[in-house]
């Protein structure tokens, strides 16, 4: 019997799948080496096709906030499967899901389910355009909103990692309607708004940015966007695909107390299944078809298996506020340990952190926007990534990603990670 390894699978994959992967960052291009092919996962551990076990800090880019193969979610999916996988007709679960989301996320009064974060942001922007009758949008450099044409302008993470900040295949017309400003730069936004008065449909922002590494909004930034949008009749869209149900039950808007007009959701909302959603004020959401003129549809939207997984996840988070205290504690322990390690080694790299998300940037400059994120030494990051992997710790394979923690991490796991962090830094820097 021939046993496949990650290496042989990747070689084969490259013959049949562009680059061997179904999403670019997975190819490990930014860190070198070949990607690991994952066979299974349980709690905080990933198991690859080569028989190795890794403690992981990505958690499927966020959704596995309770760790892998959590029994509640597993049971919800198993129970749903025997009633058929899809109907393409309304179900009770969709109503329960919508009710729960509007209860949990402060600014959402009505919500539409879709199948990915990308679909959510594309639909949200179409809605903002239909609602305002305006064409242009403002986005921020280094913010990623999925792979919709309008967003592949200064798009962060995957796009930066592969060195293609602006994608081929996006027309000039589309690019012209997308204006960009540096994250945390209110003055730049004001200047764009003044120069395009009456033409801006939406400002879309990751209210805590996680796709150029983790970058926090400076005090007053989100409040300033809110004020400007209210004054100019611009729709404020918070892309909470990453942060929703993670940084608080109700996302960044609850945690920092600034409310958008439309919110986009993904990742955790599906409990690991492909799900997204966009929602907001009734007045705006009622512009969506079939009540309003903005068309948006989906054969598998609100899929019963996906809704079952998502409902189990959200219901658990909604009824267990201690999850968020636990995530804060895990985040604080890891980040203070990392900070101490840097200090012991006489290094002054920047760590950005909020709740269960953090990034180490290999730069001594504060990281407040995409330009400062790019001062990081990405070659060094690649070495650090490989050193950690050798010690059984699986990180996001790019400097321009945040790490995502789960409640499956115990104090013992945290000690293992901190020890690996110290040894890896020592290996790549001090001894080199
Ligand atoms: C992941 C992500 C998306 C895209 O979601 P997909 O499900 O990958 O299409 C959009 N916005 C943000 C902020 C994200 O982190």
Domains in the chain (CATH in brackets) are: 4-69+321-430 (3.90.1150.10), 71-319 (3.40.640.10)
> Angle at the Cα of 430 (from 426 to 431), degrees rounded to 5?
90
Concerning whether 239 is annotated as a catalytic residue, the answer is yes
Q: Please, which pLDDT band fits residue 167 given cuts at 50, 70 and 90? A: confident
Q: How many C-beta atoms lie closer than 10 Å to residue 340's C-beta? A: 13
Q: Which of 131, 128, 408 is nearest to 278 (CA)?
A: 128
Cα(353)–Cα(384) distance, integer angstroms: 19
User: Residue 158: what pLDDT?
Assistant: 56
Ligand 1 center to residue 117 CA distance, Å? 4
User: How confident is the model at residue 161, as a pLDDT?
Assistant: 45
Evaluate if residue 119 carries a pLDDT over 50. Answer: yes
pLDDT band for position 173 (cuts 50, 70, 90):
confident
pLDDT of residue 274: 98
What is the four-CA torsion angle of 346, 351, 354, 356, rounded to 10 degrees?
A: -80
Ligand 1 atom at minimum distance from 206 CA: 13
Is residue 217 over pLDDT 50?
A: yes
- 144 flagged as catalytic: yes
Neighbours of 149 (CB within 10 A): 16
Read off the tokens for 194.
Answer: 């003044």
Q: Does 417 score more than 60 pLDDT?
A: yes
- Give residue 244's pLDDT: 98
Distance 374 CA to ligand 1 centre (A): 21
**pLDDT at residue 160 greater than cutoff 90:** no
d(CA 60, CA 172): 34
Q: What is the pLDDT of residue 91?
A: 98
- Ligand 1: which atom is nearest the Cα of residue 267? 7
pLDDT at 155 over 70: no
Dump pLDDT digits (tens) for 302-317. 999 999 999 999 999 9
Average pLDDT, the chain: 95
CB 60 near ligand 1, within 6 Å: no
Nearest residue CA, atom 11 of ligand 1?
145
pLDDT, one tens digit per residue, over 247-301 is: 999 999 999 999 999 999 999 999 999 999 999 999 999 999 999 999 999 999 9
Model pLDDT, residue 432? 56
Mean pLDDT (whole number) for 90-113: 98
* Res 157 pLDDT > 80: no
3-state SS of 5-44 is CHHHHHHHHHHHCHHHCCCHHHHCCCCCCCCCCEEEEEEC
Strand 38-42 relative to strand 45-48: parallel, antiparallel, unpaired? Answer: antiparallel
Q: What is the pTM of this model?
A: 0.96
Q: What is the DSSP letter of 242?
A: T
pLDDT for res 168: 87
Question: Residue 262's Cα: distance from chain center in Å?
Answer: 17
Q: Between residues 156 and 249, which one has the greater pLDDT? A: 249
Calculate the alpha carbon distances from 380 to 203, 279, 358 in Å. Answer: 35, 41, 18
What tens digit of pLDDT does each residue of 363-400 get? 999 999 999 999 999 999 999 999 999 999 999 999 99
Provide the pLDDT confidence category of residue 162 given band limits of 50, 70 and 90: very low
User: Rounded CA gap, 355 and 331, in Å?
Assistant: 6
Q: Which residue's entry shows tokens 């990308």?
A: 118
Distance from C-alpha of 386 to C-alpha of 363, rounded to nearest angstrom = 18
Q: What is the pLDDT of residues 331-352, one digit of tens each?
A: 999 999 999 999 999 999 999 9
Buried b (16+ CB within 10 A) or exposed e, 74-91: eebbeebeeeeeeeeeeb
| Mean pLDDT, residues 398-403 taken together | 96
Q: How far apart are CA 171 and CA 173, in angstroms?
A: 5
Does residue 261 line the site of ligand 1, with CB under 6 A? no
Please count the CA atoms within 13 angstroms of the CA of 215 that sit on its side-chain side.
30
Q: How far is the CA of 210 from the centre of ligand 1 (A)?
A: 10
Q: CB 427: neighbour CB atoms within 10 A? A: 17
């Amino acid at each position: 019997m021939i046993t496949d390894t990650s290496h042989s699978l990747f070689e084969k994959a490259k013959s049949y799948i562009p680059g061997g992967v179904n999403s670019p960052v997975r190819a490990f291009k930014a860190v070198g080496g070949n990607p690991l092919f994952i066979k299974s996962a349980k709690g905080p551990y990933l198991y690859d096709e080569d028989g190795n076990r890794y403690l992981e800090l990505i958690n499927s880019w966020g959704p596995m906030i309770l760790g892998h193969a959590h029994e509640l979610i597993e049971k919800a999916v198993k129970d749903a499967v025997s009633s058929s996988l899809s109907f393409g007709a309304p179900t009770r679960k969709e109503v329960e899901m919508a009710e729960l989301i509007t209860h949990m996320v402060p600014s959402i009064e009505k919500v539409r389910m879709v199948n990915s974060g990308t679909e959510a942001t594309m639909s949200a922007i179409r809605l903002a355009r239909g609602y305002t009758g305006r064409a242009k949008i403002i986005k921020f450099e280094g913010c990623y909103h999925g792979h919709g044409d309008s967003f592949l302008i200064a798009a962060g993470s995957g796009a930066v990692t592969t060195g293609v900040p602006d994608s081929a295949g996006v027309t000039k017309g589309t690019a012209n309607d997308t204006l960009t400003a540096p994250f945390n730069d209110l003055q730049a936004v004001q200047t764009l708004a003044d120069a395009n008065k009456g033409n801006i449909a939406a400002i879309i922002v990751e209210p805590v940015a996680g796709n150029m590494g983790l970058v926090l909004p400076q005090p007053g930034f989100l409040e300033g966007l809110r004020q400007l949008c209210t004054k100019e009749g611009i729709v404020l869209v918070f892309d909470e695909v990453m942060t929703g149900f993670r940084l608080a039950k109700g996302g960044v808007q609850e945690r920092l107390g600034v409310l958008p007009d439309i919110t986009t959701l993904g990742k955790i909302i599906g409990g690991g299944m492909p799900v997204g959603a966009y929602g907001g004020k009734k007045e705006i959401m009622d512009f969506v078809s079939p009540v309003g003129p903005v068309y948006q549809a989906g054969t598998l939207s609100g899929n019963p298996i996906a809704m079952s997984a998502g409902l189990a996840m959200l219901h658990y988070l909604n009824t267990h506020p201690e999850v968020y205290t636990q995530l804060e504690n895990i985040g604080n322990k890891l980040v203070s340990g990392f900070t101490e390690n840097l200090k012991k080694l006489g290094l002054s790299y920047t760590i950005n952190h909020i709740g269960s998300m953090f990034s180490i940037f290999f730069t001594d400059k504060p990281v407040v926007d995409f330009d400062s994120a790019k001062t990081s030494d990405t070659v060094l990051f690649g070495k650090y990534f490989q050193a950690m992997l050798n010690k059984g710790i699986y990180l996001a394979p790019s400097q321009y990603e945040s790490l995502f923690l789960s409640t499956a991490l115990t104090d013992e796991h945290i000690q293992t990670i901190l020890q690996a962090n110290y040894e890896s830094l020592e290996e790549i820097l001090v001894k080199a």
